[in-house]
Amino acid sequence: MRIEEQHPDVLQNIEFAVMQTHREHPKMSDHVVLRTYGAVLDSYAAEQVGREPREWKPTQTEQELFDRVRAMCETRLGRDSLETEDDSVHEMSLPDPIDVPTLMLCLKRLRKSVQTWTKRHGNQGYLGFIGQFVK
């Protein structure tokens, strides 16, 4: 069974974090999302093997996106609760936590989706695609 069939909720949660940032930065491109997914993926890969993440010099928008995506990932791993902009804890009913290898498969699938939709529909193809489903 494919990861998007096993964990559609995880993919959608991560894409929700992307759409939050896109609403604040409407000119954000798929390239920003692709780089950020790569950086988040590398942070977990590094954790798995006990190394430091590769050096990454994000733009301000990429850093905001990284922080949101990483926070959502940490929540799905069961490591952290999701905090709102005003520092209050957002009560979410989440299924059992997933493990890091599963999360990494989800991030790889999302990265592939960015590449596919950018190729088909240009600079914001992925953002337009997920915007239809993530409100």
State the 10-residue block means of pLDDT for the chain, 135 residues long: 93 96 97 98 96 95 98 92 55 77 98 97 96 86
Q: How many CB atoms lie within 10 A of CB 128?
A: 14
CA distance 109 to 47: 19
Query: Other CB atoms closer than 10 Å to residue 98's CB: what's the count?
Result: 19
Q: How far apart are CA 54 and CA 50, in angstroms?
A: 12
pTM value surpassing 0.85: yes
Contact 100, 5 (CB under 8 A): no
